[in-house]
């Protein structure tokens, strides 16, 4: 299962804080984060890596970015 964090419309640092909270307290091995700015995309990807996760995919469409984060076991 994958958890979804919808951080669209939020300004920094909120998308990062929501992502970190999900990494720390969520139980799903995969997290999908939705953001709508390049800034948030870079920050969220960096936050994931600094918390021991991997960013497996970043997809861009006209609504923004979809970041797929895999938690390490």
Chain residues in the site for other proteins (CB under 8 A): 11-14, 16-17, 19-20, 37-39, 42-48, 50-51
Give the helix ranges, DSSP H, for the chain.
14-25, 38-50
When the beta carbons of 11 and 56 are compared against other proteins, the nearer one is 11
| Cα–Cα distance, 73 to 62 (Å, whole number) | 33
b/e burial code for range 21-31 (CB count within 10 A of at least 16 → b):
ebbeebeeeeb
Question: What is the nearest approach in angstroms of other proteins to the Cβ of residue 43?
Answer: 4
Shortest gap between Cβ of 17 and other proteins (angstroms)?
A: 5
CB of 6 to other proteins, least distance (A): 17
């Amino acid at each position: 299962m994958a958890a979804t964090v919808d951080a669209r419309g939020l300004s920094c640092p909120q998308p990062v804080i929501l992502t970190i909270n999900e990494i720390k307290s969520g139980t799903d091995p995969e997290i999908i984060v939705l953001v709508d700015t390049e800034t948030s995309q870079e920050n969220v990807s960096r936050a994931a890596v600094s918390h021991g996760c991997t960013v497996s995919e970043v997809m861009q469409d006209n609504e923004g970015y979809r970041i797929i984060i895999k938690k390490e076991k």
